[in-house]
Structure 1
């Protein structure tokens, strides 16, 4: 612009030169205005992005349950960050978290992008990833397991390790259909901060769910308590009604349990109760519910199961208890058996008041258990 002003200041300047200078000045002004519009647009875009991320962070922090947090991650984060694919992998030692979530009626099938692995090695983060996000082009060899639930694979990815107290708890997996979206040369400060917030919120809601679970769990056998079984029964009746399938209820009672306490002591009786619960649980699916109803009595709810299928499961349980001695922590071993009564609720009979249906299902299985006791114990009887 200085050379244009010099030209304008020259007295002998002709009309053609003045016109050319005016055109150059107008062009530079136009370019400056365009740059200013671009700067303003970028500033507004950045403001909107920051606002979306602030709202996302507030939603994360405000999540009071695992379900609410996961829904926020998979819906709000995807939209606020313009992500094409998104998944989350959590480390779950010995299925502890999944077992708790199941007992709290969290249906994992609703969230296919949520995956679990047993340990850090199974997580399989790329070798160059330590506690920093890993960005770059998608590689099937490196990234396939992180995006396994996604039908269309991304072109560029960001793997964000989630740490709490220097302990790896999982990985947030971000993907884009644009190859330049996540570049290895990009700064990762923003993504790291997001990962820290998500990891913190995950730890908080998981601890909250664990506390809830403790309130619904029998402390001796570590299976559901009676209150939780009754709650789950109402939920399963409602779900079976919606999806039109049968459910079955088992009532189980350890035979001559008083004799175990009298002969071996109450500590040995506790050993038998814990081992019986463990053997029952080993024959069940994750979707089934096992609870201690009181004393030496247990109740099992089997989803999508008719009477005959339930009888097969019950017979496996009976055999697992009768065929193997129980090792006692205080005094040797003992043998024990169990009696089981079964009732089923078909889809066609699942009508009317759920509380009344639950009470009748329990009563029928209890009556079948009484028949098993009357017929000599250590047997399975079906409701008539």
Structure 2
């Protein structure tokens, strides 16, 4: 017969086993919840079809999903290609302060392989560029690679020193880095394809379709926000002579160089497009007619102040441009955005015509709400 002592021991063992089983079940539920949360987050990443949506998922949703104090995305963009796409998407570089751009890769400490994740203590000497707005205690730095090419880093920061340690398993971290890298490459490629469809292949600036679409959007925004909007119509003077005398290849070189000189005078929020032939249109956001006049004069001077090197022209070729400017200050809410867009373009075009008629190489301003024109001295 089983003694009372043995019975108590068996009961105690049974109770202990029940307790351990309960703990295991609770941990299993927690793990299942974590897995489901991670799977839901993966679906968010994968379903993001636009750059803004993907960035918001990573930089806004991820900290809450993984209980982190800070998440940053640092992209390698030496040729500014991604930043140009963001400008065209009207995503300001200050809109997401944890979206960063690096001139080159960084060296991750305590790692023999720079493409491997780093988990451990925050080291300012190396990690400061990845966390410019927050000082974490521990970090997980995930290099994002696709086809042996480093896209950038996804950096996770925690206020707790024990959150990320070198002893931690990296299976989940590696999987997250792979998913993010694939989604990032996919979205960037999609945006590049759209960008190509809205870009003039010769000069690399926006095409007419983009400018007209953007003008409509900015007019509508100006109506909502009561903000000013200006437009410049730019035409290269005597461009036909360039083609006739030096050939179309030289004419193409002039168009490319003029486009570059115009772009140098513009802000990130502005837009430049080739409207056709030797005509360019500039959209100036939050700009009055006075602002437009000042920028137009800088553009005019930038085009004509130095010669353009082309084949067959010893010492280069001096090029001038005529510019017409018009403004909506602010856009009339009683008219449609499409109607106002067409009016703005027409006024700028008429001002350009008057600049041509008045001797070229000058800026002419259209007075808002009238057909009057005001000359700017060249």
TM, length-normalised to structure 1: 0.89
2:85 is the alignment partner of 1:100:
yes
Residue 269 of structure 1 aligns to a residue whose secondary structure is helix
Q: CA deviation at 1:302?
A: 0.9
Does the CA-based 8 Å contact 2:116-2:143 persist in structure 1? yes
CA distance in 1, matches of 2:244, 2:331: 47
Residues in 2 aligned to 1:110 and 1:38: alpha-carbon distance in whole angstroms: 45
Taking the aligned partners of 1:302 and 1:22, their CA distance within structure 2 comes to: 88
Asked whether 1:147 is paired with 2:131, we answer yes
| Residue number in structure 2 paired with 1:365 | 348
Query: Gaps spanning 5+ residues in structure 2: where?
Result: 368-378
What residue is the counterpart of 2:230 in the other structure?
248
Post-superposition offset of 1:192? 1.1
Residue of structure 2 equivalent to 1:207 = 189
Gaps of 5+ in 1: 1-7
**Counterpart in the other structure of 1:5:** none
- CA deviations 1:159-198 (Å, max 9, x no partner) are 1111111111100011122221111211212201110111
What secondary structure does 1:326 align onto?
coil
Shift in Å at residue 206 of structure 1? 0.7
Deviation at 1:241, TM superposition (A): 3.2
Rg larger for: 1
- Partner of 1:154: helix, strand, or coil? coil
Select the residue among 73, 79, 104 that pairs with 1:88.
73
In structure 2, the partner of 1:356 is: 339
Question: Matched residues in 1 for 2:340 and 2:172: separation?
Answer: 53
Q: How many residues align?
A: 365
Contact 2:219–2:331, Cα closer than 8 Å, also in 1: no
| Aligned partner (choices 211, 215, 218) of residue 233 of structure 1 | 215
Q: 1:138 to 1:316 in 2, by over 3 A?
A: same
CA–CA distance in structure 2, aligned partners of residues 370 and 361 of structure 1 = 14
Report the equivalent of 1:346. 329
> Does the aligned pair in 2 maintain the 1:267–1:330 contact within 8 Å?
no
> What does residue range 103-118 of structure 1 map to in structure 2 within 5 Å?
103-118=88-103
Separation in 2 of the partners of 1:317 and 1:77?
Answer: 44
1:284 equivalent in alignment to 2:266: yes
1:297 aligned to which of 270, 279, 283: 279
CA drift of 1:351 comes to: 4.9
TM-score normalised by L of structure 2: 0.91
* Secondary structure of residue in 1 paired with 2:74: strand
Whole-angstrom CA distance in 2 between matches of 1:41 and 1:127: 36
The CA RMSD over aligned residues, in Å, is: 2.0
| Contact 1:340/1:380, CA 8 A, preserved across alignment | yes
- Correspondence for 2:376: none
Whether 2:51 is the aligned partner of 1:66: answer yes
Aligned-residue offset at 1:347 = 2.6
Paired residue for 2:374? none
Counterpart in the other structure of 1:4: none
Q: Is this contact kept in 2: 1:268–1:331, CA < 8 A?
A: no
Give the number of the structure whose residues are more often helix, by fraction. 1
